[in-house]
Amino acid sequence: MTIRNGGLHNGVAVDSSGRASVFFRCKLEGAADVTLSIDGDLHFYRECHFYGKKNLVVGLARAFFQKCQFYLEKSHPQGKIVFFSQSSHISAYKFGFVFHLCEFYVVNTSETEVETAFIGSSFGNYTFYVIMESYLDPTVTGYFLGTPPNVTYYATFRNVGSGATKANVPQFVHVLGSVEAASHYSLRRFLLGDNWITKAVDYDLDIVE
pLDDT tens column, 76-133: 555 677 888 887 666 555 788 999 999 999 887 655 555 578 888 887 778 889 999 9
Name residues whose C-beta falls within 8 Å of residue 173's C-beta, 6 or more positions apart in sequence: 143, 154, 155, 156
Given CA atoms 157, 162, 168, 170 in this order, what sign does their dihedral have? Answer: negative
Which pTM value belongs to this model?
0.91
- pLDDT, residue 183, reads 97
- pLDDT, residue 75, reads 63
Give the helix/strand (H/E) hosting 60.
Answer: strand 57-66
| DSSP SS3 for 68 | coil
Taking a C-beta distance cutoff of 8 angstroms, is the pair 84, 55 a contact? yes
Instruction: State mean pLDDT over 51-59.
Output: 86
72 has a pLDDT exceeding 60: yes
- pLDDT, residue 90, reads 62
As a whole number of angstroms, the distance between CA 105 and CA 68 comes to: 11
Residues making up the chain, counted from first to last: 209
Give the helix/strand (H/E) hosting 61.
Answer: strand 57-66
- pLDDT, residue 170, reads 79
- pLDDT, residue 203, reads 97
- pLDDT, residue 43, reads 96
Instruction: State mean pLDDT over 9-34.
Output: 85
67 has a pLDDT exceeding 90: yes
- pLDDT, residue 59, reads 87
| DSSP SS3 for 91 | coil
pLDDT in tens, 145-171: 877 777 788 899 999 988 887 655 778
Q: Name which of 51-60, 77-86, 174-183 the model is least confident about.
A: 77-86
- pLDDT, residue 115, reads 55
Mean residue pLDDT of the chain comes to: 85
Taking a C-beta distance cutoff of 8 angstroms, is the pair 13, 190 a contact? no
As a whole number of angstroms, the distance between CA 36 and CA 41 comes to: 15
The larger pLDDT score, comparing residue 14 to residue 124, is at 14
- pLDDT, residue 108, reads 73
